Amino acid sequence: MSDSNVQYRLEGKRALVTGAASGIGLGTATLLARSGATVAINDLPGERLDAVVSTLKAQGLDVVAVPGSVGEGEIASRDLVNKAVCELGGLDYLVNNAATPNTKKIIPPSDLDKLTEAFWERIISVNLTSVFWMTKAAAPVLKESHGAVVCTVSTSAFGGGGSSSAYSVGKAGLVGMIRELARALAPEIRVNGIAPGMVNSNWDCDFGEHNLSTVPLHRVGQPEDYADAIVFLCAGAAYVTGDVLVVDGGATT
């Protein structure tokens, strides 16, 4: 469990969180909404998204569902952002969290045959290119609000160890994209990221038992741990842009 005592007052703020029906995305959407923001929750259409939105609304939180896949290109991303902006009446924070391992089991770096053209295309479109299209689409309204963009990267961007080499490469590219978008959208919009380590969530890829011997804090990161960092970069950190904050319990120190 997270033991953070930090509280935010985000009444009147509007946020769009992608991949927010589970894990880090859900933790982030929940924290934003509990802090007073109105939150558009994006995920693939289906019962999971509907159930999450219904549950949060039952708790009195101001959330709306914005179903759709971020990996379908520029037009789909623009439509998704426009729908969220219409529902929210504007936008202050964009959290690019949606991602896919595109595999149920870890693909070792030596197994090049499993890294097909279709596999690469799916990984890059969802985990990397979508961030550009989503951010580009949201840029005009975020400039009006002097808002912020936060992207979920991965510690595998810095040393591998992800679900596949393609996944790690895509996340490494995302680090570079964050820096370029930060330059492109300054000074009105800040663009940052977090690089999560171990996560206690229903991630599509099975990593087996977590090895806590490499984690100084001796526990697996919870979604709310990562949400703390994301919301900090959204609502605080006024002089931080183009940076990626490693959040992994000290595993890479």
**Which residues form the catalytic set?**
167
- Lookup result for tokens 């951010």: 135
Contact 192, 236 (CB under 8 A): no
What 8-state DSSP symbol labels residue 220? P
Cross-strand bridge partners of residue 206: 105
Q: Would you say the C-alpha torsion 248, 34, 80, 144 has a positive or negative sign? A: negative
Distance CA 91, CA 81 (A): 9
